[in-house]
Amino acid sequence: MSDAKRAAGEAAAELVEDGMRLGLGTGSTVAYFLDALAARGLDVTGVPTSEATAARCRELGIRLLDVATATELDLAVDGADELDPELQLVKGGGGALLREKVVESLAARFVVIATEDKLVDRLGDTFPLPVEVVPFALGPVGRRLEAVGFEIERRERDGAAYVTDNGNHILDARLPGGIEDPAVMDVELALIPGIAGHGLFVDMATEALLADGSGEVRRLTPRAAQT
Ligand code: 5RP
């Protein structure tokens, strides 16, 4: 699996050009991308989507760009927990979903890097949907999600509630049978007070680089972009 992640990360690093302003995702696949990017020695800047990515960039000498001054990014690269053939995504396994969505919304091009097994027919099939919730609203949001049919689990670390970089908690929400219409669910969740963000990324990815165990990488675009 790590060979496939490395292959996807390295393929994405080849897309980067000198002078680009980048969105830098979070996770183990992105770690390979960052290594390959640093090895290319290009003059680029990047907005990190997590404290972990920021720390890794500092180690690798990748210059960081403050999101406050980043109006438009040339390219964002990030992993995903699931993607469907339309390149709708479930993200947030690493807990960085909120900053990822903010940063990736600024990018002209958003490339997902993942292993082939992350490609599913229907989102929510294999992975629960991470929902980031302000601590005050954990109870009410949990009940609202259950009313919609989700089975929820509070994410924990070391026996306590997991805390995101934004000081929030995460509910991992599983919908039996998966998410029928990601665009509808995207809006439904946005209307629940107390949800700071959720891991459904609808119509955001412009392409995906999917790698298999042999290190072969194929490029996928949403069906709309193929016509
Ligand atoms: C972090 C994410 C990651 O992109 C996602 O969890 C995939 O991670 P990995 O590359 O380690 O499989 O959304 O919030």
**pLDDT at residue 125, as a whole number:** 84
Share of the chain above pLDDT 90, in %: 94
**pLDDT at residue 12, as a whole number:** 98
Q: What is the whole-number distance in angstroms between the Cα of residue 207 and the centre of ligand 1?
A: 16
Q: What is the whole-number distance in angstroms between the Cα of residue 142 and the centre of ligand 1?
A: 23
Give the C-alpha separation, 212 to 216, whole Å: 6
With a Cβ cut-off of 6 Å, ligand 1 is lined by: 25-29, 78-81, 91-97, 100
DSSP code per residue over 151-215: EEEE-EETTEE---TTS-EEEEEE-TT--S-HHHHHHHHHTSTTEEEESEE-S--SEEEEE-TT-
Q: What is the whole-number distance in angstroms between the Cα of residue 114 and the centre of ligand 1?
A: 9
Give, using CA atoms, the residue closest to atom 10 of ligand 1.
29
Pocket test for ligand 1, best of 78, 83, 113, 165 (most atoms within 8 A of CB): 78
Domain 2-121+202-222: assigned CATH number: 3.40.50.1360
Q: Which atom of ligand 1 is nearest to the CA of 5?
A: 10
Q: Which of 80, 77, 26 lies closest to 199 in space, CA to CA?
A: 80
Could you tell me whether strands 21-24 and 45-48 are parallel, antiparallel, or unpaired per DSSP bridges? parallel
Give the C-alpha separation, 141 to 194, whole Å: 6
Q: What is the whole-number distance in angstroms between the Cα of residue 193 and the centre of ligand 1?
A: 26
- Indicate whether this model's pTM tops 0.95: yes
Q: Rg of the chain's alpha carbons, rounded to an integer?
A: 17
Both structure tokens of 3: 């060979």
Give, using CA atoms, the residue closest to atom 4 of ligand 1.
79
Pocket test for ligand 1, best of 91, 111, 116 (most atoms within 8 A of CB): 91
What are 51-71's pLDDT values in tens digits? 999 999 999 999 999 999 988
The helix (run of H) or strand (run of E) holding residue 78 is strand 75-78
Domain ranges of the chain: 2-121+202-222, 129-197
Domain 129-197: assigned CATH number: 3.30.70.260
Q: Rounded to 5 degrees, what are φ and ψ at 99?
A: -65, -35
Q: Rounded to 5 degrees, what are φ and ψ at 34?
A: -65, -40
Residue pair 205/91 in contact by the 8 Å Cβ criterion = no
> Do the domains at 2-121+202-222 and 129-197 have one common CATH topology?
no
Rounded (5°) CA angle 61-67-70 = 95
Q: Which residue among 10, 82, 86, 100 is the active-site one? A: 100
**pLDDT at residue 227, as a whole number:** 60
Question: Confidence class of residue 42 from pLDDT cuts 50, 70 and 90?
Answer: very high
The whole-number average pLDDT for the span 142-150 is 97
Let me know if 86 is a catalytic residue.
Answer: no
Q: Is 220 helix (H, G, I), strand (E, B) or coil?
A: strand
Q: Which atom of ligand 1 is nearest to the CA of 30?
A: 10
Question: Confidence class of residue 49 from pLDDT cuts 50, 70 and 90?
Answer: very high
Tally of CA atoms within 13 A in the half-sphere of 144 that contains its CB: 16
> What are the C-alpha distances in Å from 157 to residues 67, 99, 197?
28, 20, 20
